[in-house]
Structure 1
Amino acid sequence: MRNSNGRTIAFTKGHGTGNDFVIVADPDGELDLTDDQISVLCDRHFGIGADGILRVVRSRAIPEGADMPDAEWFMDYRNADGSTAEMCGNGIRVYLRYLLDAGLVQLGEGETILIGTRNGPRPMTRSLLGFEVDLGAFRVEEGETLVRARGLPVPRPGLRVDVGNPHVVVALPSDDDLDDLDLTVIPRLQPEPANGANVEFVVPADPLVQDGVGAIRMRVFERGVGETLSCGTGVAAAALAVREWAGPAAPDRWSVEVPGGILGVRVAPVDGIPHVFLSGPATLVFSGEVALAQRS
């Protein structure tokens, strides 16, 4: 199905460090996009081109947001193949940028706003890098996952990290090893997680820590998308994994370089429970109208 003679909708294109999205306003939840329609919209040859779709909908208008009365707006995020995702760290910053620019919300310095997600309402504030989101409590899981990827001479162990969605983080010894990866091919995981996982490949800086801030470089393969220029939750997971490997003396602040730019990660307690925070820029690029592909 590539016929685009259906309903015409308005959209905005945005990105967070190169992780790009088609943003569609649907405040009252009247738009029901099929997986195929999303796939066409995100196609970089036949559509607008994006890593995913952000549907701007009021929490009360979507079943997943019905129990979030303090979050007026819900980020309905779908991957480029139409599959749903629990959370998107870059997407939620772009989502807030859209809400602010469209005049749908206001956010002053020092103020916090809640945005609904499938991983619960997420608090957001302004930061020096743009916006910061509290991704919530995280879990570094026991055991290892064996990762095979094109460009890796041998399979390597990966650490499972859950930041509201699942990740497997693999440490590599050098920048050359990172650059040699061919992520046009899906990395293979053993055991394979039931719902799949994003896979991050990381190289620590040398030295790892300067002025109390850890630094790493990363590439990512996102489930349902492929390699992207950036993955916000993946950045957080990668920093948490290296922090775990570094041991008790590891810092709580991290700078993570991805192909699309630099993002910040910090770990801090909230009500006595360690939370992971992600900060970075969010940019709106252009707006327009597009005809939806007809339903199959």
Structure 2
Amino acid sequence: MPRTVPFTKGHGTGNDFVLIADPDGELDLTDDQVAALCDRHFGIGADGMLRVVRSTAIDEGAAAAASGAEWFMDYRNADGSKAEMCGNGTRVFARYLLETGLAGIDDGLSIGTRAGVKRLTRSDDGFEVDLGPFAIAPDETLVRARGLPVARPGVGVDVGNPHVVVALSSVSELADLDLAYQPLLDPAPRAGANVEFVVPEDPLVRDGVGAIRMRVFERGVGETLSCGTGVAAAALAVRHWAGAAAPDRWIVDVPGGRLGVRVSGESVLLSGPASLVYTGEVALA
């Protein structure tokens, strides 16, 4: 008989996840099993899966365990593929740890990921996660997308996972994008990339805080209502384009809500809400 496991459904600004607790690393989920769980027609439905496992119980968690991070976020895309990191996922993961009593956050909470250990603290709207150092690529990437009449240049931004950010001219141009089709990148990154399309608000900066709107196509998933690392990448790209006078604080509106971005030295931090929606049991495919 198929194995039945408990699960929790959660989301951060509409970026939704299936969480499965596997503290001792006993589950060896295949790509197909993860994809079945995330299927919106035949499964629970989600943009990805978060396996809650102790850092000592997963080979990729050795460095996290050595740094004192008890828990590792084994994040998988909706197609089952492994991903380095998920900004919204870290906040939902933290919410789960707190509400199930597996961890506290009084002095901060460290979580292991494939992109290193990420530290979370409470914020006014939920949690803030330090995504760590970021890098902006020196060369442009040409992006073709359904709904754009001509290809547009994009800038590569690495925030633990790869992104390409494209600036658009208007809200209507952003709305006209058909992200049911995957954008094409030239040159194509070897491991793929999430692609963000952004429009600056008018004015771009108000009271020292920048503001933009964004839509995103996530590799291995498709268009999502929100992407935490994508939000950070989009703010960093617009900040880069705006020049030396650009602010370090940004508000980013996505279809699923609003997130905050803060640049501190060489690191970028992401803040926003995280919710757990329901629990249940599911038979693994």
TM-score over 0.5 (shorter chain): yes
Structure 2 partner of 1:73: 71
Return the alpha-carbon distance in structure 1 between the equivalents of residues 7 and 209 of structure 2. Answer: 38
What is the match of residue 159 of structure 2? 163
| Equivalent position of 2:53 in the other structure | 57
Task: Say if 2:273 is the partner of 1:278.
Answer: no
Among 199, 223, 227, which residue is 1:227 paired with? 223
| Equivalent in 122, 125, 129 of residue 125 of structure 2 | 129
- Pick from 188, 192, 195 the counterpart of residue 192 of structure 1: 188
Give 1:207's match in structure 2, choosing from 203, 217, 222: 203
The residue that corresponds to 1:292 in the other structure is: 284
Measured on the aligned residues, the alpha-carbon RMSD in Å equals: 0.6
**Is 1:29 paired with 2:25?**
yes
Which of the residues 261, 264, 268 maps onto 2:264? 268
CA-CA distance at 1:67 after TM superposition:
2.1
- Measure the CA separation in 2 of the matches of 1:34 and 1:64: 16
- Following superposition, the deviation at residue 6 of structure 1 comes to 1.2
Distance 1:237 1:55 in 2: 25
Query: 1:6 and 1:222 mapped to 2: Cα distance?
Result: 31
Q: Normalised by the size of structure 1, how large is the TM-score?
A: 0.95
1:113 offset after TM fit, Å?
Answer: 1.4
Residue 103 of structure 2 aligns to a residue whose secondary structure is coil
Q: Moved runs in structure 1, 4+ residues, more than 4 A?
A: none
- 2:168 is aligned with what amino acid? L
SS in 2 for 1:234: helix
TM-score for the superposition, normalised by structure 2: 0.99
Match of 1:83 among 67, 72, 81: 81
Deviations 1:178-220 (A, max 9, x none): 0000000000000000000000000000000000000000000
Per-residue CA shift, 1:233-281, capped at 9, x if unaligned?
A: 0000000000000000000000000000000000002xxxx10000000
SS at match of 2:102: coil
For 1:56 and 1:260, locate their aligned partners in 2 and report how far apart those are by CA, in whole Å: 24
Q: How does 1:105-120 map to 2 (within 5 A)?
A: 105-108=103-106, 111-120=107-116
Shift of 1:112: 1.3
SS in 2 for 1:250: coil
Distance 1:75 1:44 in 2: 22
Give the number of equivalent residue pairs: 283
| SS of alignment partner, residue 139 of structure 2 | coil
Q: Which runs of 5+ in 1 are unaligned?
A: none
